[in-house]
Amino acid sequence: MKTSRVREALLSGARGLYLAIIALAGSITLFVLSVLSIAFILLGIGLFTTPVVLTAVARFANLRRVHAAEWSDVRIPIPYRQPPATEPPGAAGQVARCIRLLKDPATWRDLQWLLADMTAGFVVVIFAPALVLYPVYGWVLALGVWKPIYNAGGGEWYGFIHVNSQLAANGAALLGTGLGVLALFANPYIVRGHFLLTRSLLAPTTSMRERELALRVDRLEETRHDAVDTSAAELRRIERDLHDGAQARLVAMGMDLGTIEALVEKDPAKAKEMLAKARQNSGEALTELRDLVRGIHPPVLAERGLGDAVKALALRLPLETEVDVELPGRLEEPVEAAAYFAVSETLTNAVKYAQAQRVWVDVHHADGMLRIAITDNGKGGAEIGAGSGLSGIERRLGTFDGVLAVSSPVGGPTMVTMEIPCELS
């Protein structure tokens, strides 16, 4: 128990030092760049630099959100407005993007947070590493280092203690020990306090939540319409596949059987040959029907659930794939189907376009959310855009209020993350 507390205090101290450094270096740099870039909008330069800088600010804020959730279990909502599916090309698109970012209330909250992070946020979190490192200096003084400092004319102070004798140095060591004990209990709460301050500035206000809820409702209505259109297109595809494939083969097989019936007595050899052809047509028609049914709802998905269906997908890929599934129950059938086809489309993209040699798939459920992460070591450059496969996946997930995030720098790797709110049965 004591070892665990010491480890947690030291870990919190290291995290506090990291947060203090990036609060100064990152927040100051981004705040200055943001102010300058917005000011340069009047000169025209800012129209092109502001979207880049504000995007970097949002990524910096999202990184702090990740740290808050992982290190102190402080959840900070992401309130940014979703960009439109298409934006005008060229300079007009840059202007539209700049205006959209400046109209987003979350952008201004990010800038307010940068200002607070470099001041109050730094002051709060710096105590965590200080409570770990400062006690060490007290013991160093007590071990005799105070003497050369004092003999050199230094008036060394340790806290409120003027260290000018061994007795005073021992008092410094005692004070340092007390601060070290305080760190055992206070450090995790100091780091958490820093993240709570961050949440108070980054989390959306009530009015923002109402606006975001309205946007969310609009998005759900849009994705519902997309789902209806997609379903209609899927029905047309099934009808076309049946008409051009299995139905044509069955009609040809019926005609062959009629011919065989007429030839069975006059030309048994020819009838036998045509019978073999009819058997072949029936086998091909059955195969096409099975493929068609598998495309509608794979049997392994219906029988064994999403986890085994994703593993079956991975086994058919022509590259090395690692699958990690943690699903203690079954999902609702529509959610399973949406997730399965989203994973299938993403893996197909990794094979066809990413030129990847390896893929990692992680599927797990926690806190009422199905989370799927697919990573490949391909060439990268994937993005969500009009007409792309990823855009189709985003619309499919949006039907269930799910989200899709893509990180794919040029040169790779590519990571596609999907989240769908749902419960296990």
Contact 355, 410 (CB under 8 A): no
Q: How far, in Å, CA of 135 to CA of 178, rounded? A: 8
Domain with residue 356: its CATH number is 3.30.565.10
Asked if residue 211 is part of any domain, the answer here is: no
* Signed CA dihedral, 204, 206, 212, 213: sign only: positive
Name 194's bridge partners.
none
Contact 305, 330 (CB under 8 A): yes
Nearest to 255 by CA among 274, 241, 280, 269: 274
pLDDT above 60: residue 85: no
DSSP-derived secondary structure letter, 354: S
Residue that terminates a domain, selected from 296, 327, 352 = 296
Asked if residue 216 is part of any domain, the answer here is: no
Asked if residue 354 is part of any domain, the answer here is: yes
Domain with residue 264: its CATH number is 1.20.5
Q: Please report the pLDDT score of residue 220 as a whole number.
A: 57
* Signed CA dihedral, 141, 142, 144, 150: sign only: positive
Asked if residue 262 is part of any domain, the answer here is: yes
Higher pLDDT, 304 or 123: 123
Does 289 share its domain with 312?
no
Is the full-model pTM beyond 0.85?
no
Mean pLDDT over the full length of the chain: 79
Does 271 share its domain with 328?
no
Q: Please report the pLDDT score of residue 195 as a whole number.
A: 94
Q: How far, in Å, CA of 317 to CA of 309, rounded? A: 13
Burial group, residue 200, by CB count within 10 angstroms (0-12, 13-18, 19+): exposed
Which structural domain, as residue segments, surrounds residue 275?
Answer: 224-296
Asked if residue 213 is part of any domain, the answer here is: no
Which amino acid belongs to residue 42? L
Does 243 share its domain with 197?
no
Q: Please report the pLDDT score of residue 116 as a whole number.
A: 94
Does 273 share its domain with 314?
no
pLDDT above 70: residue 147: yes
Q: Please report the pLDDT score of residue 66 as a whole number.
A: 87
Does 271 share its domain with 311?
no
Condensed to tens digits (0 to 9), the pLDDT of residues 65-80 reads: 889 988 988 888 877 7
Residue that terminates a domain, selected from 296, 321, 340 = 296
Contact 422, 333 (CB under 8 A): no
Does 9 share its domain with 136?
yes
Mean pLDDT of 164-186: 88
Does 5 share its domain with 145?
yes
Total domains, the chain: 3
pLDDT above 60: residue 369: yes
What are the φ/ψ torsions at residue 288 (nearest 5 degrees)? -65, -40
Does 118 share its domain with 266?
no
pLDDT above 90: residue 393: no
Does 45 share its domain with 67?
yes
Condensed to tens digits (0 to 9), the pLDDT of residues 3-13 reads: 688 888 899 99
Q: Please report the pLDDT score of residue 120 as a whole number.
A: 94
Condensed to tens digits (0 to 9), the pLDDT of residues 311-335 reads: 888 887 778 888 888 888 888 887 8
Asked if residue 63 is part of any domain, the answer here is: yes
Mean pLDDT of 281-288: 65
Does 231 share its domain with 360?
no
Rounded alpha-carbon distances, angstroms, from residue 140 to 130, 145, 174, 299: 15, 6, 12, 70
Asked if residue 209 is part of any domain, the answer here is: no
Query: pLDDT tier at 24 (50, 70, 90 boundaries)?
Result: very high
Residue that terminates a domain, selected from 262, 296, 330 = 296
Condensed to tens digits (0 to 9), the pLDDT of residues 86-141 reads: 666 666 777 888 888 888 888 999 999 999 999 999 999 999 999 998 888 888 88
Does 184 share its domain with 281?
no
Higher pLDDT, 20 or 396: 20
Interaxial angle between packed helices 2-39 and 46-72, expressed in degrees from 0 to 180 and rounded to the nearest 10: 170
Instruction: Determine the 3-state secondary structure of 362 from DSSP.
Output: strand
Q: Please report the pLDDT score of residue 335 as a whole number.
A: 82
Asked if residue 219 is part of any domain, the answer here is: no
Calculate the CA dihedral of residues 105, 403, 393, 333 and round it to 10 degrees.
-150
Does 19 share its domain with 149?
yes
